Amino acid sequence: MPINADYEYINAERAFFQAQTLDEKIRALEEMISKAPSHKGAENLRAGLKARLKKFQEKKEKAKSTGKTTKKAIKKEGFQIVLLGLTNGGKSQLISRLTNARPRVDSYPFTSKVPEIGTFDYEGVRAQMVDLPSIGSEAFDIGIANTADCMLLVVEQIEDLEKINPVLSRTQGKKIIVINKADLLEANALRKLEEKIKSKKLNAIIISAQTGFNIDQLKEKILSEMKVNRIYLKEPGKVVSKIPMVMRTSPTVKEVAEKIYKGFSTKIKETRVTGPSSKFPNQKVGLSHVLKDRDIVEFHGI
Ligand SMILES: Nc1nc2c(ncn2[C@@H]2O[C@H](COP(=O)(O)OP(=O)(O)O)[C@@H](O)[C@H]2O)c(=O)[nH]1
Ligand SMILES: [Mg+2]
Residue 86, CB half-sphere, CA atoms under 13 Å: how many? 20
Does residue 16 sit within a domain? yes
Q: Examine the domain organization and report whether 84 and 180 are in the same domain.
A: yes
- Ligand 1 nearest atom to the CA of residue 89, by list position: 20
Q: What is the pLDDT of residues 136-155, one digit of tens each?
A: 887 888 888 888 999 999 99
First to last CA, the chain: 67
pLDDT at site 187: 95
For residue 231, what are the β-bridge partners? Answer: 245, 295
Distance (angstroms) between ligand 1 centre and the Cα of 215 equals 15
Q: Examine the domain organization and report whether 54 and 85 are in the same domain.
A: no
pLDDT at site 110: 60
Distance (angstroms) between ligand 2 centre and the Cα of 74 equals 17
Q: Examine the domain organization and report whether 239 and 273 are in the same domain.
A: yes
Does residue 2 sit within a domain? no
Cβ(99) – ligand 1 distance below 6 Å: no
Does residue 74 sit within a domain? no
pLDDT at site 69: 47
Q: Examine the domain organization and report whether 39 and 137 are in the same domain.
A: no
CATH number of the CATH domain containing 195:
3.40.50.300
Does residue 71 sit within a domain? no
Domain closes at, from 165, 200, 226: 226
Does residue 75 sit within a domain? no
Distance CA 275, CA 122 (A): 19
Q: Whose CA is nearest to atom 9 of ligand 1?
A: 90
Distance CA 285, CA 283 (A): 6
Domain closes at, from 16, 44, 66: 66
110: left (phi over 0), alpha (psi -120 to 50) or beta: left
Q: What does pTM read for this prediction?
A: 0.71
CATH number of the CATH domain containing 260:
3.10.20.30
Q: Examine the domain organization and report whether 106 and 133 are in the same domain.
A: yes
Cβ(134) – ligand 1 distance below 6 Å: yes
Q: Examine the domain organization and report whether 215 and 255 are in the same domain.
A: no
Q: Examine the domain organization and report whether 249 and 175 are in the same domain.
A: no
Cβ(112) – ligand 1 distance below 6 Å: yes
Q: Which domain holds residue 88?
A: 80-226
pLDDT at site 3: 45
Q: Beta strand pairing status for 295-300 and 229-234?
A: parallel
Cβ(214) – ligand 1 distance below 6 Å: no
Domain closes at, from 43, 66, 89: 66
- Ligand 1 nearest atom to the CA of residue 111, by list position: 19
Cβ(241) – ligand 1 distance below 6 Å: no
With contact defined as beta carbons under 8 Å apart, do 256 and 231 qualify? Answer: yes
- Ligand 1 nearest atom to the CA of residue 110, by list position: 19
CB atoms within 10 A of CB 14: 15
Cβ(106) – ligand 1 distance below 6 Å: yes
pLDDT at site 71: 44
Q: Examine the domain organization and report whether 89 and 217 are in the same domain.
A: yes
Distance CA 101, CA 99 (A): 5
Distance (angstroms) between ligand 1 centre and the Cα of 49 equals 21
Q: Examine the domain organization and report whether 154 and 198 are in the same domain.
A: yes
Q: Judge residue 34's burial from the number of C-beta atoms within 10 Å of its C-beta, 0-12 exposed, 13-18 middle, 19 or more buried.
A: exposed
Distance (angstroms) between ligand 1 centre and the Cα of 91 equals 7
Distance (angstroms) between ligand 2 centre and the Cα of 91 equals 5
Does residue 1 sit within a domain? no
Q: Examine the domain organization and report whether 269 and 162 are in the same domain.
A: no
Does residue 47 sit within a domain? yes
Residues of the chain with pLDDT under 70: 1-7, 18-20, 66-75, 77, 107-113
Ligand closest to the CA atom of residue 90: 1
Ligand closest to the CA atom of residue 115: 2
Q: Examine the domain organization and report whether 48 and 96 are in the same domain.
A: no
Q: Examine the domain organization and report whether 140 and 261 are in the same domain.
A: no
Does residue 128 sit within a domain? yes
Count of residues in the chain: 302
Q: How many domains does the chain have?
A: 3
With contact defined as beta carbons under 8 Å apart, do 63 and 69 qualify? Answer: yes
